[in-house]
Amino acid sequence: MTQTVLVVGSGGREHALAWALSRDPGVTQVHIAPGNPGTATVGTNHPVDALDPDAVAELAVQLNAGLVIVGPEAPLVAGVSDAVRARGIPVFGPSAAAARLEGSKAFAKEIMSAAGVPTADGRLCLDMGEVVAALDEFGAPYVVKDDGLAAGKGVIVTDDRDAALRHAAGCRAVIIEEYLDGPEVSLFALSDGTTVLPFEPAQDFKRAGDGDAGPNTGGMGAYTPLPWAPPGLVADVVRTVIQPTVDELRRRGTPFVGLVYAGLALTRRGVRVVEFNARFGDPETQPLLTRLRTPLGEVLLAAATGNLAGQPPLDW
Ligand code: AMP
Ligand code: GLY
Which tops the pLDDT comparison, 145 or 303? 303
Residue nearest atom 4 in ligand 1 by C-alpha distance: 275
- For residue 179, the ligand 1 atom closest to its alpha carbon is 20
Predicted confidence at residue 170, as pLDDT, reads: 81
- pLDDT tops 70 at residue 18: yes
- For residue 284, the ligand 2 atom closest to its alpha carbon is 1
Q: C-alpha angle with apex 72: 121 to 104, nearest 5 degrees?
A: 30
Q: Is the distance from the beta carbon of residue 204 to the nearest atom of ligand 2 less than 6 Å?
A: yes
Residue type, 46: H
Ligand 2 centroid distance, CA of 283 (Å) = 7
Q: Is the distance from the beta carbon of residue 109 to the nearest atom of ligand 1 less than 6 Å?
A: no
Q: What Å distances lie between residue 87 and 59, 141, 189, 193, 272, CA to CA?
A: 11, 48, 26, 19, 38
CA of 277, nearest ligand number: 2
> What are the start-end ranges of the H helices in the chain?
12-22, 53-63, 73-77, 80-86, 100-103, 105-115, 128-138, 161-169, 233-237, 243-251, 285-291, 296-304
- For residue 13, the ligand 2 atom closest to its alpha carbon is 4
* Contact indicator for 73, 149 with CB cutoff of 8 Å: yes
- pLDDT tops 90 at residue 2: no
Report the mean per-residue pLDDT for the chain.
Answer: 95
Among 185, 220, 274, the mutation site with the greatest number of ligand 1 atoms within 8 A of its Cβ is 274
Predicted confidence at residue 219, as pLDDT, reads: 86
Percent of the chain with pLDDT strictly greater than 90: 87
Ligand 2 centroid distance, CA of 162 (Å) = 27
Q: Is the distance from the beta carbon of residue 152 to the nearest atom of ligand 2 less than 6 Å?
A: yes
Q: CA nearest 288: which of 11, 22, 17, 10?
A: 17
Within 10 angstroms of residue 138's Cβ, the number of other Cβ atoms is: 17
- For residue 274, the ligand 1 atom closest to its alpha carbon is 16
- For residue 181, the ligand 1 atom closest to its alpha carbon is 21
Predicted confidence at residue 213, as pLDDT, reads: 87
Q: Is the distance from the beta carbon of residue 144 to the nearest atom of ligand 1 less than 6 Å?
A: no
Predicted confidence at residue 212, as pLDDT, reads: 84
Predicted confidence at residue 149, as pLDDT, reads: 64
Q: Is the distance from the beta carbon of residue 73 to the nearest atom of ligand 2 less than 6 Å?
A: no
Q: CA nearest 182: which of 278, 118, 112?
A: 118
- pLDDT tops 80 at residue 172: no
**Beta-strand pair 27-34/3-9:** parallel
Q: Is the dihedral of CA 9, 15, 19, 20 positive or negative?
A: negative
Band (250; pLDDT cuts 50, 70, 90): very high
pLDDT digits (tens, 9 = 90+) for 25-77: 999 999 999 999 999 999 999 999 999 999 999 999 999 999 999 999 999 99
Within 10 angstroms of residue 121's Cβ, the number of other Cβ atoms is: 12
Under DSSP, the state recorded for 240 is I
Ligand 1 centroid distance, CA of 275 (Å) = 7
Helix, strand or coil for residue 57?
A: helix
- For residue 283, the ligand 2 atom closest to its alpha carbon is 1
Q: Is the distance from the beta carbon of residue 73 to the nearest atom of ligand 1 less than 6 Å?
A: no
d(CA 83, CA 312): 31
State the helix-helix crossing angle for 296-304 and 12-22, rounded to 10 degrees. 110
Q: Which of 10-24, 27-41, 167-181, 187-201 is the least confident region? A: 167-181
Ligand 2 centroid distance, CA of 35 (Å) = 19
Model-level pTM?
0.93
Peptide bond into 34 cis (omega under 30): yes
* Contact indicator for 75, 50 with CB cutoff of 8 Å: yes
If you average pLDDT over residues 274-281, what whole number do you get?
Answer: 96
Long-range (24+ apart) CB contacts under 8 A made by 79-84 are: 79/53, 80/8, 80/50, 80/51, 80/53, 80/56, 81/257, 81/258, 82/53, 83/53, 83/54, 83/56, 83/57, 84/53, 84/56, 84/57, 84/60
d(CA 42, CA 39): 5
